[in-house]
Structure 1
Amino acid sequence: MSQGLVQERVTTALLGALNGARLKGQLKTATWPTLTLDAPKRPEWGDLASTVAMSLASSEHKAPHDIAQIIVENIPQREQLFDRVEIVRPGFLNLTVKPALWQEVLREIESQGAHYGRTAVGTGRRVLVEYVSANPTGPLHVGHGRGAAVGHAIVRLLDAIGYDAVGEYYINDAGRQMKLLGASVYARYQELSGRTVEFPEDGYHGSYITSVAQQLKDQLDLVAGELTPADLEARCRSLAYQKLLGLIREDLQSFGIEIQSWFSEASLLESKAIERAMDELKARDLLFQQEGAWWFRASLYGDEKDRVVKKQDGEYTYLASDIAYHHDKLKRGYDLLIDVFGADHHGYIPRMQAVMQAYGHPQDRLQVVLVQLVKLLRDGVEVKMSKRTGEFITMREVIDEVGADAARFYFLMRDSKTHLEFDLELAKQRSADNPVYYVQYAHARICSLWRVAAERGVARPSALETDLTVLTDPDELGLIKKLSAYPEMIQASALAFEPHRVTYYLQQLAAQLHTFYNKHRVLPPATDQEHGEPAPAEALTPKRTAARLVLMGGVQHILRNGLEVLGISAPDHM
């Protein structure tokens, strides 16, 4: 696990203690457990805590407290690293790190800048993240917006820790839904042409279908006399598909999302990829025929039952296309496949993991991220229908109303596996109650600080050339400790496919920054009686001013880096 500078130094010291104890014969375990460091529940207990002594109790056949004592006795450079090392029964190690080590974090952040928190953990591994993949039969709705934000953030997080991550949209441009799209648009076109027709029973009734028909009417009128009704309906299907897919692309672009790869389901049919995938499964005796249909032996790999891939009428099921599609992903050489699904696809997970195993891969080569529903609110009251159309609310409407940054932050604020309440009015507020404003304002506040400093003739100091030993106040050290946790948080968020951890961290950091800023001076006032400035509650020497400016620079770097990895802007003014 990637760690901040302090955590890395402490981990190294503990490993040194373990190895030293083994050389002395005090410990005998051949392989040490993974060392993890946590923040104690109460600050007075220390900065970091380790349970390594308890992890070793069974293999060492010793009491955890005795093992902890051995570790403490063997910590190299203990006096230089720690102010205090305590053993708490049954065997917790509570460690209070010297302020000088925390202060060094600010120099590391300044030297790495935009790269702070980025690692090479995933170097050499390719990942394909499929997300959104909405049928091109209508505009993206608000639920698709959440899936888009989650999928895009996962791609960016994996990229931040070194993976070669690619986002892909699977276009469901074949099968029944496309036939219904063509029939629906054709029916509305005929109505616009003054003919009374029976609308398809399972057709798409949204007003957007009428809008598409209106936009296509002139093109269709030019060829209507030359084509049979079946051919004209096919033309409606083709043109409506192009129009709606273009709309989806535009909506995603308005959300700041550029999907690198677009994969067509129709291409699987045209290239005979589905037949080849089915033939390969037949050759492995993983398909069987029953009552005129072909079935995939999914139950062999943990699915609750076998699944139909080819119906009695010879038509392939959605599963057959998905098998061929995922087989294609594997053939493209991706080391890991991630599918971002709506929560209603939960039952699809075991059958797709069965597909992985059927092709000779471990089931965890495919990871599925579920995205739960979004409940839109306005001042606490649920909003169910679009003001514009009287139908479902589109992703574009939300973006137009609150902005792409706010929409993305809100979509990412909660674990994607949980339901999300999104209050549109709150998302537009310029107040501390609005989480995205609260975080972005923290960044803008520091930018304003630099402008005021320049006006007062205070130069921006370099961390390398600044005496940071004056940063000993608990609030100062608390901010540095939060900054030091950023690299580990980013890696954990990426590996768990949980971007909400980043928004949570940023809100915490912003809260600490605002509290610090309201409590402490950073710059001296322009005059002793400067209007609107609080009276100094502490001595603010030039040395302390410089050190606190370096601290503010560190906070600014992390706020910007965290927002950037989520695809959210870090404004200079608000």
Structure 2
Amino acid sequence: MSKMVKEVENKLNEAIALAVEKATQSGDLPEAEMPKFIIEKPADKKNGDFSSNIAMAGARAYHQAPRMIAEAIVKNFSLDGGYIDRCEIAGPGFINFYLSDKYYSDVLKDIVSSGDNYGRSDYGEGKKMLVEFVSANPTGPMHIGNARGGAIGDCLASVLDAAGYDVQREFYINDAGNQIEKFATSLEVRYLQECGKDVELPEDAYHGEDITVHARNFYSEVGDKYAECDSQERRDALVAYALPKNIAGLEADLGKYRIKYDKWFRESTLHNDGSVQKIIETLKEKGVTYEQDGALWFKASEFGNDKDIVLIRANGIPTYIVPDIAYHYNKLVTRGYDKAIDVLGADHHGYIPRMKAALTALGLDADRLDIVIMQMVRLVRNGETIKLSKRSGKAITLNTLLEEVPIDAARFFFNLREPNSHFDFDLELAAKQSSENPVYYVQYAHARICSIIKKAADEGIGVTTPSEEALNRLNSSEERDLISHLASLTDEIIGAAKSYDPARITHYVIELATLFHKFYNAHRVVSDDKELTEARLFLCTAVKNTIKNILVMLKVDVPESM
């Protein structure tokens, strides 16, 4: 929360405790241990800005009706020198507190003076967080699910940073294992077809046009040099040619999407440096493995998973889970991150207990791994769902999407819903330049404020810090609602960081734009009343700064004119 909100809550706690102490000393309340109570914001503003259940919480301790306890506390409550204007008793004994004019004026001063730092806090205490997201197999272009994962992961990292964590972004490159074998098979068949061979592409191979293009380009460079050689040599040459191009393509596409990773981590390094083998040996040493039917099994059922899992197949090849365990061990032990956060698709639900079981067996606190499950996206145009098929090669790619809708809309839209909810992406709405489009609506609020400030400057009225008396005149319901919402930003960012839900921030800024437009439609900003004009320009500046800080956090453009 803003410094002001936090200060009010702390002072209110102290003032209530002091009022109880005074009531006890004066005999209005009997001697008893101070009951635990809460302070919260009522849903209905008519019930005050803050409310406390102290009277109900103390009924047993004081052996009195809550209403009587509330009356004793209010009688002894001091309003001197704080941000509370008055307090009232409601219902069976709730005590409602109303904020003073000074609170609202000080909130605005705090926002404007904080500038680009408004909304940031030290809540995370600099703990090291690694956010791994997208991590698409480098065997083809990124699809629409990766587009959502990219927006969610990148914005989540920004939210965690604003909440005071030391955050790193990472892409895990699956450049080993089954996917690469399938990639090699697909390239090999397409290359042999270019060489004139009568071979058929297996049904479970990759059928995308990108595979054909790689094979054709490879053939144009080397001809039929690899047509008659050993299959493994041919496959290695094809993968060595195509894989770096795909990885470079992923990096370029994500860069266009405004995502920059701190590290691109290759799975192959875990095989090459012995990390995969070390995990197997460590699990064996801890006595949590056994052999059956020629395979090595992990006793995952003893650590919370529903069944045991195979680590090494009977053919001696490790399953995919082993390098994944090695990768998470690398994150949490080798590199020492306090938390590893993975953003994964909906088909990874079963992955969570398996990975946590392995970490527990290795002696780690499995709660240091958090997995954000992201549901599927449906693309909608003219009310109709666009059918996708990755295998046929007709999937909508990230690039295709960004050719149709602005990057701002893509990043904002994918963060309109919490990750674990299904999402319909309306292509028409995302491309619309109207108030129906939420990102346009927010950007327009910022541009409108810039226009107001420029117009005022043209008339010789600059933005200055108004007097206390001038700021106290911002007392209409529209102005007070706007300031109250502004004051809650830091708290909202902390909440989004705790719940791993960047959608809370898009909802916040849409609501901020709505409250601003409501204020703008109800009140003239620049008028003949100089004092009120200065106060309202100051309020507009606070709104402008806050919208800018949020859009910068989301990596969405902040236009000054539209």
Normalising by the residue count of structure 1, what TM-score does the alignment of the two structures yield? 0.91
Q: How does 1:142-161 map to 2 (within 5 A)?
A: 142-161=144-163
Aligned to 1:434: 437
Is the aligned partner of 1:127 residue 2:129?
yes
Q: Distance in 2 between matches of 1:57 and 1:381?
A: 59
Counterpart-to-counterpart distance in 2, 1:512 and 1:109: 17
The equivalent residue for 2:246 is 244
- The amino acid that maps onto 2:431 is K
- Quick one: which of 490, 494, 516 aligns to 1:491? 494
**2:551 paired with 1:563:** yes
Specify whether residues 564 and 65 from structure 1 end up closer, same or farther in structure 2 by C-alpha distance, changes over 3 A only.
farther
CA distances 1:17-40 after superposition (whole Å, capped 9, x unpaired): 22563585767557956x5522x2
Q: Note closer, same or farther for the CA distance 1:368–1:93 as it changes in structure 2 (3 Å cut).
A: farther
Report the Cα distance in structure 2 between the residues aligned to 1:59 and 1:294, rounded to whole angstroms: 61
Q: Which amino acid aligns with 1:307?
A: I
Q: Distance in 2 between matches of 1:270 and 1:142?
A: 32
1:99-132 deviation digits (Å, cap 9, x = unpaired):
2211211100011011111011212310111111
Specify the alignment match of 1:327 in structure 2: 329
Which amino acid in the other structure matches residue 438 of structure 2? P
Q: Does 1:396 align with 2:364?
A: no
Alpha-carbon distance, 1:185 to partner: 1.3
> Match of 2:532?
544
Amino acid at match of 2:312: K
- 1:542 and 1:281 map into 2 onto residues whose CA distance is 75
Summarize the alignment of residues 358-377 of structure 1 with structure 2, pairs less than 5 Å apart.
358-377=361-380
Aligned counterparts of 1:122 and 1:8: Cα–Cα separation in 2: 19
Residues 442/347 of structure 1: CA separation in 2 closer, same or farther (3 Å cut): same
Name the CA distance, whole Å, in 2 between partners of 1:279 and 1:310: 12
Stretch of structure 1 that moved more, 442-451 or 466-475: 466-475
RMSD: 2.5
Note closer, same or farther for the CA distance 1:458–1:61 as it changes in structure 2 (3 Å cut). Answer: same
Q: Deviations over 1:247-297 (max 9, x none)?
A: 111111011000111111111111111111111111111112222211212
1:212, 1:243 within 8 Å by CA — same for their partners in 2? no
Q: Please identify, of 398-407 and 543-552, the stretch whose mean Cα deviation from structure 2 is larger.
A: 398-407
CA change 1:65–1:145 in 2 (3 A) is farther
- Output aligned runs, 1:66-215, within 5 Å: 66-77=68-79, 80-215=82-217
Q: 1:312 to 1:54 in 2, by over 3 A?
A: farther
Letter of the 1:87 partner, please give it.
I
The 1:64–1:304 alpha-carbon spacing in structure 2 relative to 1, beyond 3 Å, is farther
Residues 345 and 517 (structure 1 numbering): CA distance in 2 closer, same or farther, change over 3 Å?
same
Q: Aligned AA for 2:491? A: E
- What fraction of aligned residue pairs are identical, expressed as a percent? 39
1:394 alignment partner AA: T
> Which residue pairs with 2:352 in the alignment?
349
Counterpart residue number, 1:448: 451
Distance 1:520 1:117, change over 3 A: same
Match among 221, 231, 234 for residue 233 of structure 2: 231
Q: Which moved more, 1:96-105 or 1:456-465?
A: 456-465
Q: Which amino acid aligns with 1:21?
A: V
Alignment map for 1:254-333 (pairs within 5 Å):
254-331=256-333, 332-333=335-336
Q: Residue in 2 aligned with 1:15?
A: 14
- Give yes or no for the alignment of 1:522 onto 2:493: no
* Aligned twin of 1:338: 341
CA distance in structure 2 between the partners assigned to 1:564 and 1:286 by the alignment: 48
Q: Give the match for residue 428 of structure 2.
A: 425
The answer to whether the 8 Å contact 1:173/1:265 transfers is yes
The worse-fitting range, judged by mean Cα deviation, of 280-289 and 421-430 is 280-289
Point out the more displaced range, 69-78 or 468-477: 69-78
Q: Distance in 2 between matches of 1:185 and 1:56?
A: 74
Supply the distance in 1 between the matched residues of 2:119 and 2:506 (Cα, whole angstroms): 15
Distance of 1:278 and 1:76 partners within structure 2: 66
- 1:378–1:550 Cα change, 3 Å: same
Preserved contact between residue 302 and residue 354 of structure 1 (Cα < 8 Å): yes
Q: Is the 8 A contact 2:56 2:93 kept in 1?
A: yes
Contact 1:4-1:486 within 8 A present in 2 as well = no
- What is the rounded CA distance, in whole Å, between the counterparts of 1:129 and 1:66 in structure 2? 52
- Paired with 2:443 and 2:55, the residues of 1 have a C-alpha distance of 42
Specify the SS of the correspondent of 1:467. Answer: helix
Asked if structure 2 preserves the Cα contact closer than 8 Å seen for 1:14 and 1:71, the reply is: no
**Does the residue aligned with 1:440 lie in a helix, a strand or coil?**
helix
CA distance in structure 1 between the partners assigned to 2:492 and 2:278 by the alignment? 43
C-alpha separation in 2, matches of 1:428 and 1:272: 49
Contact 1:299 1:305 in 2 (8 A): yes
Which amino acid in the other structure matches residue 541 of structure 1? D
Return the TM-score normalized by structure 2.
0.93
Which secondary structure state, in structure 2, belongs to the residue aligned with residue 94 of structure 1?
strand
- The equivalent of 1:474 in structure 2 is 477
Question: What residue number does 1:535 align with?
Answer: none
Residues 506 and 183 from structure 1, CA distance in 2 versus in 1: closer, same or farther, beyond 3 angstroms?
same
| Aligned-partner Cα distance in 2 for 1:130–1:148 | 10
Question: Structure 1 residues 45 and 196, CA, compared in 2 at 3 Å: closer, same or farther?
Answer: same
Corresponding position: 1:507 with 2:510 = yes
- 1:412 alignment partner, SS class: coil
> Per the alignment, in what secondary structure is the counterpart of residue 256 of structure 1?
coil
Q: State the Cα distance separating 1:70 from its structure 2 match.
A: 5.0
Q: Which residue of 1 aligns with 2:561?
A: 573
The aligned counterpart of 2:383 is 380
**Cα shift at 1:189:** 1.9
TM superposition shift of 1:465: 8.2
SS in 1 for 2:556: coil
Query: For 2:290 and 2:543, how far apart are their aligned partners in 1?
Result: 61
Distance 1:328 1:36, change over 3 A: farther
In structure 2, the residue corresponding to 1:415 is in which secondary structure? coil
Q: CA deviation at 1:75?
A: 3.8
Moved more, 349-358 or 323-332: 349-358
Query: Quick check: 2:35–2:61 contact (8 Å CA) kept in 1?
Result: no
* Change in CA separation of 1:237 and 1:380 when aligned onto 2, cut-off 3 Å: same
